[in-house]
């Protein structure tokens, strides 16, 4: 098994390796997804989060073995890039790849478990959540900082931003599910808007986000709001089309 352990955790390499080797039989199940599984383990006084990536199909086993970095490796490397740029994400600890012959069998990404107060999804589901607009505007500031660094988080979706309250009307934001990112020298406004468009189709939220982002970017409100509405509708329609196709193919329950 190929592995890379963060320099700050090399003194715990034996314990870290044991966690991965016993992933199937030990640990506390945290998320049991269709594609991936996440378990929690104790590493000394630290709770760690281990994500097991689903075994790729036959073609991807070869692609990930020779031509493309595994999701675990990308998650680890992207987490380090985010931290280097002052962008919040749980501390990366290690990644492991189980390679068999000419293919990648499975892979694992380990990071510190971060206990959040909410995710962005809560702002969609609970419109009267305490300090709702304050959190939304600070989240928009966080996203603007991400874009200013030239980072496009391709899975910028409601469940992938953890939010912690750290003081009076003060919040910090942490990205998770990191294996899909793009890095640019500079992002134009259209790229930025498209990157935010998967977050929500709710007009009330888009209104606040557009107002805050326009102020930060130095453009008019409508230069953000109008394309944001267009792209959120596109992503929402595409999502529903995919679900309908899966139902027809019997890949998804009604």
How much is the average pLDDT of 72-81?
96
- Range in 12-26, 55-69, 154-168, 217-231 with the lowest mean pLDDT: 55-69
- Binning pLDDT at 50, 70 and 90, where does residue 70 land? confident
Residue of 240 and 60 predicted with greater confidence = 60
User: Quick one: CATH architecture of 2-112?
Assistant: 2-Layer Sandwich (3.30)
Domain 118-243 is in which class?
mainly alpha
Q: What is the torsion angle, in degrees rounded to the nearest 10, for the CA atoms of residue 200, residue 37, residue 20 and residue 78?
A: -20
**pTM value?**
0.87
- Asked if 2-112 and 118-243 have one fold, the answer is no
For the chain, domain boundaries: 2-112, 118-243
Interval 176-208: pLDDT, tens: 999 999 999 999 999 999 999 889 889 999 999
How much is the average pLDDT of 39-52?
96
Task: Return the bridge partners of 96, or none.
Answer: 3, 108
- Binning pLDDT at 50, 70 and 90, where does residue 119 land? very high
The CA distance from 110 to 82, in Å, is 16
Q: Which pLDDT belongs to residue 46?
A: 95
- Whether the pLDDT of residue 84 is over 70: the answer is yes
β-pair type (170-175, 161-167) = antiparallel
How much is the average pLDDT of 165-186?
95
What contacts 197, CB < 8 A, 6 or more positions away? 228, 231, 232, 234, 235
How much is the average pLDDT of 40-47?
96
Per the CB < 8 A criterion, the answer to whether 111 and 49 are in contact is yes
- Range in 28-42, 63-77, 135-149 with the lowest mean pLDDT: 63-77
Mean pLDDT computed over every residue of the chain:
88
- Whether the pLDDT of residue 102 is over 90: the answer is no
């Amino acid at each position: 098994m190929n592995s890379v352990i963060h320099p700050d955790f090399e003194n715990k390499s034996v314990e870290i390796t044991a966690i991965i080797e016993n992933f199937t039989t030990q640990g506390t199940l945290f998320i049991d997804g269709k594609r991936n599984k996440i378990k929690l383990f104790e590493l000394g006084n630290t709770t760690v989060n281990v994500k097991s990536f689903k075994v790729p199909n036959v073609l991807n086993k070869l692609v990930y073995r020779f031509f493309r970095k595994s999701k675990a490796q990308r998650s680890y490397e992207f987490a380090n890039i985010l931290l280097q740029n002052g962008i919040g994400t749980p501390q990366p600890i290690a990644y492991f790849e189980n390679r068999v012959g000419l293919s990648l069998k499975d892979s694992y990404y380990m990071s510190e478990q971060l206990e959040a107060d909410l995710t962005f999804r809560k702002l969609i589901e609970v419109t009267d959540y305490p300090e709702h607009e304050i959190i939304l505007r600070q989240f928009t500031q966080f996203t603007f900082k991400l874009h200013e660094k030239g980072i496009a988080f391709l899975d910028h979706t409601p469940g992938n931003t953890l939010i912690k309250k750290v003081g009076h009307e003060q919040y910090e934001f942490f990205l998770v599910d990191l294996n899909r990112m793009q890095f640019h020298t500079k992002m134009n406004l259209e790229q930025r808007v498209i990157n935010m468009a998967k977050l929500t189709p709710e007009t009330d939220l888009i209104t606040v986000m557009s107002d805050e982002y326009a102020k930060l970017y130095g453009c008019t409100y409508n230069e953000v709001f109008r394309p944001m509405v267009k792209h959120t509708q596109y992503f929402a329609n595409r999502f529903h089309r995919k679900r309908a196709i899966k139902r027809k193919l019997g890949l998804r329950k009604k």
